[in-house]
Amino acid sequence: MRLPFGRHRTANVVFANLLIAVAALTTANMTGASQSPAADQDPVLGQWRLDVSKSKYTPGPGPKSETRTYRSTDEGVRAVIVRTHQNGRVETIEYGADYDSVNHVIGTPDYDAVQLTRITAYVSEATLSHAGKKFGTARREIAKDGMTMVITFQQDSQTRIHNVAHYVKVAP
């Protein structure tokens, strides 16, 4: 059955627009214009536990334990770090973990802001600061299987600090 000219033309226009939209999305993905996965697909989301035995803190000592939880919220990604120091003091640090913006940090006297930059879906870098002065930098790398994460922190001060913390994902 042949459609009347008006309906046939309308169907062709709709089909052409659909093809253009699919081509645009495909091109964006191929060129890397859409390198950031959706927040619910971000491999950092979930709960991570520090593997103290694999981690190295220079000059040390490192924490007794640490759990990092990253969750998606209406405002973006929220990070909560619960760290138990060797002396038993517990520190709970919270911040927005959104990329390419300065995020306010609460719960630690060491730094009050973090700026995250996504390098790939599995790698990001952060600059931590206090009162506008750089405190240190960190690089977070998540394994492709999404089950392990390494955060390398360094601070160049009188005593150079270089920490390599290994984490295991314990909950999605």
Q: Mind listing the pLDDT tens digit for each residue in 51-67?
A: 999 999 999 999 999 99
Residue 103 and residue 146 in one domain: yes
* Count of domains observed in the chain: 2
Q: What is the largest CA-CA distance in the chain?
A: 83
- What is the reported pLDDT for 18? 35
- What is the reported pLDDT for 5? 47
Residue 50 and residue 102 in one domain: yes
| Residue 23 pLDDT > 50 | no
CATH of the domain at 97: 2.40.128.20
> What type of residue is 15?
F
Distance CA 93, CA 70 (A): 12
Q: What is the pLDDT of residues 136-147, one digit of tens each?
A: 999 999 999 999
Q: What is the pLDDT of residues 69-90, one digit of tens each?
A: 999 998 889 999 999 999 999 9
Residue 27 and residue 64 in one domain: no
- What is the reported pLDDT for 28? 33
Give this prediction's pTM.
Answer: 0.76
- Among candidates 162, 140, 141, which has minimal Cα distance to 153? 162
pLDDT top residue among 101 and 127: 127
Lowest mean pLDDT among 12-21, 42-51, 80-89, 102-111: 12-21
Distance CA 95, CA 105 (A): 5
Residue 92 and residue 156 in one domain: yes
Residue 8 and residue 60 in one domain: no
- What is the reported pLDDT for 40? 52
Neighbouring residues of 161: CB distance < 8 A, sequence distance ≥ 6 = 58, 59, 136, 153, 154, 155
